[in-house]
Structure 1
Amino acid sequence: MFNPWSQDPDRRARCRNALARLVAFTHRGLALVGGLVAVLLLWIWLQPQWLQPLEQRLATWLRARDVLTVLWPPNTAERATAVHLQDLPPQQALVANWLARKYKVAPEPLAALVAEAHVQAKTSKLPAHLILAVMATESSFHPYVQSQAGAQGLMQVMTGIHAQRYEAYGGRLAAFDPVTNLRVGVAVLSDAIKLRGGSLEEGLLFYLGGYAMTEDNGYVAKVLAEKARLDAVAAGQKTPAD
């Protein structure tokens, strides 16, 4: 059988030299990578405060690309309506903690709602504690409550009547998203107060039952009393939560 290598010794030498260079190059490359990894690990060991941000960025990158979704589930905490009390200003944290104890709801979701109420207060010109008092009176901060008349969610908005307001948020089912229900409820309440000539009491009565409502069975007084308690809590006054 013809053997091309036996006919050309120089070719064998050239091949051996090329193979030796490839092995040497690969060895140097691996050594360089190993050195860089060692330097990186040493840097992380000396600067541990950088480890968590790097882990979070890597996790975000992997989740965005659906990498290892079975072993690394999506971070649903990012979608949760919840924040830590320590992330709130002190007065808001006092209110959130008080409401959580009174209505037996976890403080982290309450903290998120308190923060959102203050955001909505700036745009609607309604007091944040009034917004929270309405939620407390209407639903006791349970986002999935539904009345026999069809009022739904935290602020017990009549979804059938105000369905169009939910369109920007994806439709009627958004009524059961706590923050969305809060925003829509604030818009409805703000319009009710304007419709009743700026009267807070008349606006609350209209929010409760529209034009047909003449007797509120103490609803308005209950909302305003709860607002006054929240004002006292935020001011640091001792206020019973029972």
Structure 2
Amino acid sequence: MTALGKLARGIQTFVSDVAQGFFEITHNGFAVVGLAVVFSVLTLLARPDLRQAGESQMLTWLHARQAQALGLVPEPKLDAIDRATAVNPKDLPKQQAAVAYWLSKKYRVAPEPLSALVAEAYEVGERTKIDPLLLLSVMAVESSFNPFAQSPVGAQGLMQVMTGIHSDKYENFGGKLAAFDPVTNLRVGAKVLQECIQRAGSVQAGLKFYVGAALHPDDGGYGAKVLAEHARLQAVAAGRAVPLPTPQPVRTAAPIETPPVIKTEEPAPAV
């Protein structure tokens, strides 16, 4: 056999050995995987607690995927002090601080929680492509910034979202009770408003959908109120002086008048 033939035979033998080794390794690997799967199944059958933990983790993952698909950002789990919805207005950009102070004075709400809502509105507005001042205007008209407001028909929270209709949007935030969390309600309400505007084709028409008057000839002046407040907030953000409404006098209970004591003459002593 020539040297070239010996080289070719050696290469052939080497390739054959490598292929045989790869087959054995792959075969053994699949066998190991199969045994691992069987062992895992038997373990889950014998340990219901492990199975429930796995199902819980899978459900959490599915909820996270659903939140991502809906464009919602679930609120992280925080300690009580971290969950406080309050920000020092001095820490906000000048434009946002001006809006927060003005709204605080108009609606008689502490500036710190209002500053947190203003900052959140700007972040949510950037994600949803909605003017943050429009979101704040909707909150102003809907609830006057009362996070616990509820209408007779079931609209709840800052943006008066119909919780029963949009319950799916609250699933990733812990359920329906999250409607009373200010930040969560703002995020869900912004998503609902975004869908209304996209469906209607304009902001004004979207507001009509949002208030539930899509099938009515008009919205009872709702859209005009929101847009008027929006114009005022735009002026405030631009640094212009916008007068505040004259505060209504606080009614106090009338003092209870004590009836006068009527004195009677004492009878003359008997003689």
TM-score (norm 1): 0.68
CA RMSD of aligned residues (A): 1.3
Whole-angstrom distance in 1 between the partners of 2:216 and 2:162: 15
Report the counterpart of residue 116 of structure 2 in structure 1. Answer: 112
Report the counterpart of residue 235 of structure 1 in structure 2. Answer: 238
- 1:39-91 deviations in whole A, cap 9, x for unaligned? xxxxxxxxxxxxxxxxxxxxxxxxxxxxxxxxxxxx73322100000110011
Whole-angstrom distance in 1 between the partners of 2:81 and 2:172: 24
Q: Is the 8 A contact 1:153 1:175 kept in 2?
A: yes
Whole-angstrom distance in 2 between the partners of 1:91 and 1:128: 12
Report the counterpart of residue 217 of structure 2 in structure 1. Answer: 214
Verify: 1:200 aligned to 2:196, yes or no: no
- 1:113-166 deviations in whole A, cap 9, x for unaligned? 000000011111110100000000000000000000000000000000000000
Whole-angstrom distance in 2 between the partners of 1:230 and 1:182: 18
Divergent runs of 4+, >4 A: none
1:210 to partner: Cα distance = 5.0
Whole-angstrom distance in 1 between the partners of 2:244 and 2:219: 24
Counterpart residue identity of residue 196, structure 2: A
The aligned runs of 1:125-136 (5 Å cut-off) are 125-136=129-140
Q: Which secondary structure does the structure 1 equivalent of 2:145 belong to?
A: coil
Verify: 1:190 aligned to 2:194, yes or no: yes
The aligned runs of 1:1-242 (5 Å cut-off) are 76-197=80-201, 199-209=202-212, 211-242=214-245
Whole-angstrom distance in 2 between the partners of 1:147 and 1:206: 17
Q: Which secondary structure does the structure 1 equivalent of 2:148 belong to?
A: coil
Question: Which of 1 and 2 has greater Rg?
Answer: 2
Whole-angstrom distance in 2 between the partners of 1:207 and 1:78: 32
Q: Is the 8 A contact 2:124 2:190 kept in 1?
A: yes
- For structure 2, the 5+ residue unaligned runs are 1-78, 246-271
1:241 to partner: Cα distance = 1.9
Q: Is the 8 A contact 1:129 1:230 kept in 2?
A: yes
Counterpart residue identity of residue 175, structure 1: A
Whole-angstrom distance in 2 between the partners of 1:85 and 1:218: 32
Counterpart residue identity of residue 129, structure 2: K
78-87 or 156-165, which deviates more = 78-87
1:216 to partner: Cα distance = 1.4
Paired residues, number: 168
Return the structure number with greater helix share.
1
Q: Which secondary structure does the structure 1 equivalent of 2:109 belong to?
A: coil
- 1:6-44 deviations in whole A, cap 9, x for unaligned? xxxxxxxxxxxxxxxxxxxxxxxxxxxxxxxxxxxxxxx
- 1:167-206 deviations in whole A, cap 9, x for unaligned? 0101000000000000000000000000112x11110000
Whole-angstrom distance in 2 between the partners of 1:230 and 1:77: 30
Whole-angstrom distance in 2 between the partners of 1:146 and 1:213: 23
- For structure 1, the 5+ residue unaligned runs are 1-74
1:225 to partner: Cα distance = 0.6
Counterpart residue identity of residue 224, structure 2: A
227-236 or 202-211, which deviates more = 202-211
